[in-house]
Structure 1
């Protein structure tokens, strides 16, 4: 241990003949072993005193994961600057857990373990205490949701795709490709309709009633033609001149 002489300062005052020394206010750095050397004309001696400055707890800190997977072992560790060493207690979402050690352990996490963990450090000499909170999220292994970067990437991708489609439509309109396509589709539709009508007409002709009418009409036309032929052949001939 390093040794050095104690010298008078604003906080260190010596009495006459250096028989006593006072420190006010004390700092935690004043902790250590003090040694007084006394002498007389015939002998000398040494007296020692260990000085402990009690303080804290200060700077309470919880170390552990903020996000953990479902079904794993989880450990939170609490620390604090304190002399003597602080005692600890834990709360979960404001409810006392009964844990009084500097670590809080969960053997197998589930969704009910998501919440706020509060560690309180207490010094039974100074009578002081200090607390710190730690938020924990339990999620399905591999992540239960998208990060902000992934969401931004998806949004940008969708916007680029929409812009590309809009640009293609504008290009087709400017190059008159959409009207040509429409005309071709209309021509195909018209041809299909005409073909459908012709097919329907053929089907109607194949119906028995329609076929009889068609045959009858043809039969009447033939009779008229024959009658005309007979009448022409049976006309009286003109008398032969004398």
Structure 2
């Protein structure tokens, strides 16, 4: 009696254990979640399960049954928007020709193989459908000027859930105090000459992208001109050019497009052989041509202008550096020669004076120490003495 009861208990335990195991939830995984597709392409939902499937049922937006697969056969609901486009297999749902309205949440209900007294397991998956990007175009201003507002616009003819990215010269553009980005618009205010370059806009969504590039030219200037003077002979100590010689005035200004130049002297227009050129060649004829020469630069697109002036002195006498140096060297040489002559003269006088000192000393000694004997006067009237005669006879007076 006890043995049959024991067997009955064992049988019930096995049945209960099998039922509990059968009621364990089935692990459902999707190969891709969410599923992203482009309109017109095929939608594929793939289910990964750890056990064999008895049946698989697909629903759209939680209520509309798309179809079911069971016991190796599929059954498609003909009353949905998917009619004629659906294929169901043991682990896949395929929908051909994706449409924007197909986007949404899909739910799969999986029943594992075994008895029918099983808990149905379900899991949702999201589908996103996009129109591909097409017809991307970048519109840039025909004339962009420094210091003004410059606006670029990126357009497209097709595409949903669009994202726009801006770049310049291959690098992404970052917004700052001057640059504003709003969708398909990029605004630079104020523009700088350094903003010139190749700009690109990339229009994309999760399934497609297109990029287009346009060049932007920023016109600027003219900046304040720089004036230079050049003549055949550079005067030192005043004056720019010797009358009768040619002088060249050159005017340079940074500008885009290149600046056009005009010249004036003391408010009067000066004709030049090269109109609108920054070079003025003057063949001087008189010192009266001296004055203040002004160069005016103008930009034909920006409409801006700028000027710079210089004083030009035409002189009748002009010494260049070489001549001045020659004169200075000549003067120094002359001074050295004069100094040498003075030194020679001084040396000569000193030596002459020293040569005369012994003779003067001898005369003085002779005068100081000579015999003070009186010499009788010469009896001849003219003081001449006959050299052939002897001394005059001594006269004796009677005592």
TM-score by length of 1: 0.55
Please say if 1:127 is aligned against 2:293. Answer: no
The aligned residue for residue 150 of structure 1 is: 326
The answer to which structure has the higher helix fraction is: 1
Larger Rg: 2
The aligned residue for residue 34 of structure 1 is: 199
Whether the aligned pair in 1 keeps the contact of 2:296 and 2:305 (CA below 8 Å) is no
The aligned residue for residue 229 of structure 1 is: none
The aligned residue for residue 188 of structure 2 is: 23
Once the two structures are superposed, residues 118-156 of structure 1 have per-residue CA deviations (whole angstroms, 9 ceiling, x without a partner) of: 32212352533131437465778xx76773312321221
The alignment covers a number of residue pairs equal to 175
Which residue, 63, 75, 86 being the options, matches 2:259? Answer: 86
Distance 2:250 2:320 in 1: 27
Seen in structure 2, the aligned counterparts of structure 1 residues 162 and 21 have a Cα distance that, compared at 3 Å, is same
Give 1:176 deviation, angstroms.
Answer: 1.4
Whether the aligned pair in 2 keeps the contact of 1:75 and 1:105 (CA below 8 Å) is yes
Give 1:73 deviation, angstroms.
Answer: 6.1
Secondary structure of the structure 2 residue equivalent to 1:117: strand
Give 1:81 deviation, angstroms.
Answer: 0.1
Runs of 4+ in 1 over 6 A off after TM superposition: 177-180
TM-score by length of 2: 0.36
Which residue, 44, 48, 61 being the options, matches 2:226? Answer: 61
Distance 1:12 1:59 in 2: 25
Whether the aligned pair in 2 keeps the contact of 1:110 and 1:138 (CA below 8 Å) is no
Q: Which runs of 5+ in 2 are unaligned?
A: 1-167, 234-240, 357-399
Seen in structure 2, the aligned counterparts of structure 1 residues 136 and 42 have a Cα distance that, compared at 3 Å, is farther
The aligned residue for residue 118 of structure 1 is: 294
Distance 2:353 2:286 in 1: 58
Whether the aligned pair in 2 keeps the contact of 1:54 and 1:84 (CA below 8 Å) is yes
Give 1:22 deviation, angstroms.
Answer: 3.0
Distance 2:316 2:170 in 1: 57
Whether the aligned pair in 2 keeps the contact of 1:65 and 1:136 (CA below 8 Å) is no
Secondary structure of the structure 2 residue equivalent to 1:58: coil
The answer to which structure has the higher strand fraction is: 2
The higher-RCO structure (CA 8 Å, 6+ apart) is: 1
Once the two structures are superposed, the pairs formed by residues 121-200 of structure 1 within 5 Å of their partners are 121-124=297-300, 125-133=302-310, 135=312, 137=314, 147-176=323-352
Give 1:38 deviation, angstroms.
Answer: 1.8
Q: Which runs of 5+ in 1 are unaligned?
A: 181-242
The aligned residue for residue 6 of structure 1 is: 172
